């Protein structure tokens, strides 16, 4: 019995069915608790005023936007190495979720940037790399949509995902070279002394957990849909042959 057996489509459908509602419930609880706590029970920042509260949407969305791509990369690698169909479908399912997270991060950032920096958009390295990440997501989704044969599509998109990851990292550091930053440094890191104050930190953690569960739930649900869609196509093909 290895962990790979859980990726068998039938088993996958079996264990995700009971897990899915729980994941959604956890995501809902975390998000409601985190957002209500963050919006109504934390003090305003002494310089940023109440605008600081957009952090509860902005930071988790930005985190998940990057993690979704990393998850797609891992799923692509698993597909290339072990040819697990569920893995390829999970990568496909994660892409639209990731693109939405990227958009949320960009929009909340713009809304926050207008009062704080005096502009909705600036060609700052972090903002620019997110825009580039958005373009990578678009290309990846477009390639999935364009190819009819599912195995070829899975193969080509995983190659694109791997090459794209290298270029995404390269672009991240290239834009640092190109422009000076307006965006503050990382507000969350494990190795630094100076982090966000605890009052903001705990609700933020709850929100991040909420976004993680939401992401897992959405990807599981979309993967189930993809599996069903593929079963349906197989049935149709069988009917046509008969």
Partner 1 sequence: MIALLRRDLKLAVRAGGGFGLGLAFFLIVVVLVPFGVGPETELLSRIAPGILWVASLLAALLSLDRIFALDYEDGSLALLATSPLPLEGVGLIKALAHWITTGLPLTIAAPALGFLLSLAPEAYAYLLLSLLIGTPALSMIGTFGAALTVGLRRGGLLLSLLVLPLYVPTLIFGAEAVRRGADGLDPTGALLLLGGITAGTFALLPFATAATLRINLR
Does residue number 81 form part of the binding site for partner 1 (CB under 8 A)?
no
Considering only residues 26, 33, 74, 156, which one is a binding residue for partner 1 as defined by CB under 8 A?
156
Size of the site for partner 1 (CB under 8 A): 25
Q: Write phi, then psi, for 43 (nearest 5 degrees).
A: -70, 160
Does residue number 147 form part of the binding site for partner 1 (CB under 8 A)?
yes
Site string for partner 1, 175-204 (x = CB under 8 A): x-xx--------------------------
Instruction: Pick the stretch among 10-18, 51-59, 138-146, 188-196 that binds partner 1 (CB under 8 A).
Output: 138-146
Does residue number 122 form part of the binding site for partner 1 (CB under 8 A)?
no
> Which candidate, 139, 143, 113, 145, places its Cα nearest to that of 127?
113
In DSSP terms, 45 is beta-bridged to 49
Considering only residues 155, 165, 199, 221, which one is a binding residue for partner 1 as defined by CB under 8 A?
155
Gap between the Cα atoms of 139 and 160, Å rounded: 9
Does residue number 73 form part of the binding site for partner 1 (CB under 8 A)?
no
Place of tokens 């349906």: 232
Gap between the Cα atoms of 57 and 206, Å rounded: 11
CA angle 90, 61, 93 (to 5 degrees): 15
Does residue number 65 form part of the binding site for partner 1 (CB under 8 A)?
no
**Which residue, 40 or 177, is less far from partner 1 as judged by CB?**
177
203 and 56 Cβ atoms separated by less than 8 Å: yes
DSSP assignment of 168-228 = HHHHHHHHHHHS---S---S--SS-S--S-HHHHHHHHHHHHHHHHHHHHHHHHHHHHHHH
Does residue number 143 form part of the binding site for partner 1 (CB under 8 A)?
yes
**Which residue, 36 or 159, is less far from partner 1 as judged by CB?**
159
**Which residue, 20 or 156, is less far from partner 1 as judged by CB?**
156
Half-sphere CA count of 237, side-chain side, radius 13 A: 6
Instruction: Pick the stretch among 51-59, 89-97, 159-167, 214-222 that binds partner 1 (CB under 8 A).
Output: 159-167
User: For residue 87, what are the contacts with CB-CB under 8 A and spacing of at least 6?
Assistant: 7, 75, 76, 78, 79
Considering only residues 73, 160, 188, 221, which one is a binding residue for partner 1 as defined by CB under 8 A?
160
Residues lying near partner 1 in the complex (CB under 8 A): 132, 135-136, 138-139, 142-143, 146-147, 152, 155-156, 159-160, 162-164, 166-167, 170-171, 174-175, 177-178
């Amino acid at each position: 019995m290895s962990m790979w057996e859980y990726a068998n489509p039938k088993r996958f459908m079996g264990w995700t069915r009971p897990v899915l509602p729980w994941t959604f419930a956890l995501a809902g609880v975390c998000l409601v608790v985190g957002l209500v706590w963050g919006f109504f029970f934390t003090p305003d920042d002494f310089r940023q005023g109440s605008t600081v509260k957009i952090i509860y949407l902005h930071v988790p969305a930005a985190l998940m936007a990057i993690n979704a791509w990393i998850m797609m990369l891992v799923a692509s690698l698993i597909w290339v190495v072990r040819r697990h169909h569920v893995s390829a479908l999970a990568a496909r399912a994660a892409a639209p979720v990731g693109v939405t997270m990227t958009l949320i991060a960009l929009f909340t950032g713009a809304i926050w940037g207008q009062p704080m920096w005096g502009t909705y958009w600036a060609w700052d390295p972090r903002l620019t790399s997110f825009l580039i990440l958005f373009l990578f997501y678009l290309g990846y989704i477009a390639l999935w949509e364009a190819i009819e044969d599912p195995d070829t599509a899975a193969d080509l998109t995983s190659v694109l995902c791997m090459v794209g990851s290298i270029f995404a990292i390269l672009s991240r550091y290239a834009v640092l070279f190109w422009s000076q930053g307006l965006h503050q440094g990382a507000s969350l890191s494990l190795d630094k002394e100076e982090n966000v104050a605890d009052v903001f930190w705990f609700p933020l953690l709850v929100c991040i957990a909420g976004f993680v569960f939401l992401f897992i739930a959405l990807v599981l649900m979309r993967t189930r849909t993809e599996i069903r869609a593929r079963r349906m196509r197989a049935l149709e093909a069988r009917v046509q042959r008969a």
